[in-house]
Amino acid sequence: MKILTLRFAFLLLPALMLLNSQLAIASQDSVLERIQAADQPFDNMQVESAHQLTVETVLAKESYQGGAFRVLARKDAISRYRCSVCHTKKTPQVRDGALITHGDIKINHGEGKNELGCIECHDRQDRDFLVDMEGQKIDFDHSYQLCGQCHFRPKRDWLGGAHGKRVNNWAGERVVMNCTSCHDPHSPAFKTKMPEAYSLPLEE
């Protein structure tokens, strides 16, 4: 008799635990299920604290899956803009002018024979603008239209958000960095550097 009670009691413990685990599995949706069920647009502007951004931005000329968005301006970061101050209809006549004004620019864009020259991106006639392969003028603030000609895959990713970076906020109006915020257009690859931090060997 006592042994039977014992046996029953032995079974109670695992039964309780199984029951508990079953309940745990049944009670919540997985992340992917929740994502699939979430097809209603989310009003980003409802997050009030995400409104303040003090940077110069422009409205992007293309849209992303959520509609319009803004891009960090670029012209305010170019120290010698407007270029047409020197580059008038006549070629500037200063000895070693290119070296003095633009000598700090090293072009490392394109490999070997494919290395880019200046006028492949800069409009020869109007230095205040960039130019694409078809001769269309592109504003400096919208350089992504130029870069995206060749780098169309990163551009598509950049529009969607898989490339590049948002400025400061995940909510509120979408402001993203433009291509030149991270990539020096003349030498776009990231440089090697020492890491900002290191992790300790974890033993005493």
Partner 1 sequence: MFVYEKSKEEMMITNPKKGLVAFILDCIRWTLSGGVAYYIYLAILLVIMGAGIYAYGQQFQEGLIITGMSNIVSWGLYISNFTFFVGVAAAAVMLILPAYVYKDKDFHEVVIIGEGVAVGALVMCLLFITVDMGGPLKVWHMIPGIGLFNWPSSILTWDVLVLNGYLALNALVPFYILYCNYHDRKPVGWKYLPFVFLSIFWAVSIHMVTAFLYQGLPARPFWNNPLLGPRFLASAFAAGPAVIMMVLIAIKERTSYPIDTTIFFKLKRIIVVAAVINLVMLFSEVFKEFYTFTHHSLSAQYLFFGLEGHDSLVPWIWTAIALNIMGTLLFAFAPTKSSSSYLMVAAVSLFTGIWIEKGFGLIIPGLVPSPMGEVVDYTPSSYEILITLGVLATGVLVVTMLIKPALVILSRYKEGLKQPEADGL
Partner 2 sequence: MDHGKKKDAPLKTADLLDSKCTRRSFLKGVSIAAAAGSAGLVTGGCGSVASSEEAKLKWDEFFKKNYRMMTQEEKDATVARLERLAKLQRGLDTRISTQEPLDNVLYGYAFNITRCKGYMDCVEACVQENNLDRQSKTQYIRIFEMDPGQLDPTSGDGKYYHEVPVEDKFYMGVQCFHCENAPCIKACPTKATWREPDGIVVVDYDWCIGCRYCMAACPYWGRRFNWGDPVVPKEEINTKQHYLGNRMRWKGVMEKCTFCVQRTRQGKLPACVDACPTGSRVFGNLLDPDSEIRFVLKNKKVFRFREELGTDPKFWYFMD
| Residues lying near partner 2 in the complex (CB under 8 A) | 24, 28, 30-31, 34-35, 38-42, 44, 46-50, 64-67, 153-154, 157, 160-166, 168-172, 177, 182, 190, 192-201
Number of residues that bind partner 1 (CB under 8 A): 14
d(CA 73, CA 178): 8
> Does residue 24 belong to the site contacting partner 1 (CB under 8 A)?
yes
d(CA 95, CA 90): 15
Query: Residues 6 or more apart from 94 whose CB is under 8 A from it?
Result: 100
CB of 133 to partner 2, least distance (A): 24
Q: Among the candidate windows 16-24, 133-141, 158-166, 190-198, which touches partner 1 by CB under 8 A?
A: 16-24
Cis peptide, bond prior to residue 166, ω within 30 of zero: no
SS3 per residue for 118-129: HHHCECCCCCCC
> Does residue 194 belong to the site contacting partner 1 (CB under 8 A)?
no
Instruction: Look at residue 9 and give the partner it binds from partner 2, partner 1, none, a contact being a CB closer than 5 to 8 Å depending on partner kind.
Output: partner 1
Q: What secondary structure does DSSP assign to 71-135, as a single string?
A: EE-SGGG-TT--GGGT--SSPP--TTHHHHHHTT-----S-GGGPPPGGGTB-SS-TTSEE-TTS
d(CA 17, CA 21): 6
CB of 8 to partner 1, least distance (A): 10
CB of 28 to partner 1, least distance (A): 13
CB of 33 to partner 1, least distance (A): 22
Rg (CA), the chain: 29
> Does residue 13 belong to the site contacting partner 1 (CB under 8 A)?
yes
CB of 35 to partner 2, least distance (A): 5
Contacts with partner 1, residue ranges (CB under 8 A): 2-3, 5-6, 9-10, 13, 16-17, 20, 24, 202-204
